[in-house]
Amino acid sequence: MQKISQKTVNRHLFALRSLFHYLTVETEITNGKPYFERNVMAKIPVYKVKETLNERARKLSQMIFTDDVDLQFLDYVKNEYQYSLTPSQLRYFKRDRERDIAILSLFLGTGMRVNELSNLRMKDVDFTGSKISFMRKGGKKDTITVTPSALADLQRYLDVRKERYKAEDGPNDFLFVKRSKGK
């Protein structure tokens, strides 16, 4: 039998803690009482996984693009991916090409999370300073520098955004939109 890592155990414990918190604090049955009177998971310890920064960096380096693999991937999406699509898929790809490439460029060029990208507003992008300001996980405000190539891809998207997606371009409007309303 394969041994389960402590990180995996911790992930399961956190999920169970969250479920029991929900059942004891946030939701209630019809008589106004919680499903459970106490959270039995609250006392279950979670053991910190001890690893040095070097070990963590080594593990992360195995999971990320290195050298110019990210550029090769973007080049593939821009120039070759369309040839592997069915006619129906190709129609959608051509419609959303600039938007999707801008998202990929920012994702790869900045390290932003998908949720952070999807919540960007027009006012968050500073082309002059080559920066994007946004809220990080945990509600922390951050400003990061954007690569010139990612900004160029973003500008190509913005050039077609209003006409193709019928999107408003006010400062509080979402940066990335779809054909129907919403982000």
Condensed to tens digits (0 to 9), the pLDDT of residues 78-134 reads 999 999 999 999 999 999 999 999 999 999 888 899 999 999 999 999 999 999 999
Confidence of residue 52 (pLDDT cuts 50, 70, 90): confident
**What's the rounded mean pLDDT across residues 62-75?**
80
3-state helix, strand, coil in the chain (%, to 5): 55, 10, 40
pLDDT at residue 73 above 60? yes
**pLDDT tens digits, residue range 2-20?**
888 888 888 999 999 999 9
**pLDDT tens digits, residue range 40-50?**
998 888 888 78
Confidence of residue 66 (pLDDT cuts 50, 70, 90): low
Portion of the chain with pLDDT greater than 90, in percent = 57
Core vs surface per residue 9-44: b (16+ CB within 10 A) or e: eeeeeeeebeebeebbeeeeeeeeeeeeeebebeee
Amino acid at 54: N
Which helix (H) or strand (E) is 146 found in, with range? none
Among the residue ranges 57-71, 94-108, 129-143, 148-162, the one predicted with the least confidence is: 57-71
pLDDT at residue 183 above 60? no
**What's the rounded mean pLDDT across residues 57-81?**
83
Which helix (H) or strand (E) is 15 found in, with range? helix 6-21
Q: Can you give the pLDDT at residue 160?
A: 95
Structural domains of the chain, ranges and CATH numbers in brackets: 6-50 (no CATH), 69-165 (1.10.443.10)
pLDDT at residue 181 above 80? no
Amino acid at 102: A
Cα distances from 71 to residues 66, 102, 136, in angstroms, run 10, 13, 25
Torsion, Cα of 78, 82, 88, 91 (10° steps): 40
Answer yes or no: are the C-beta atoms of 175 and 119 closer than 8 Å: no
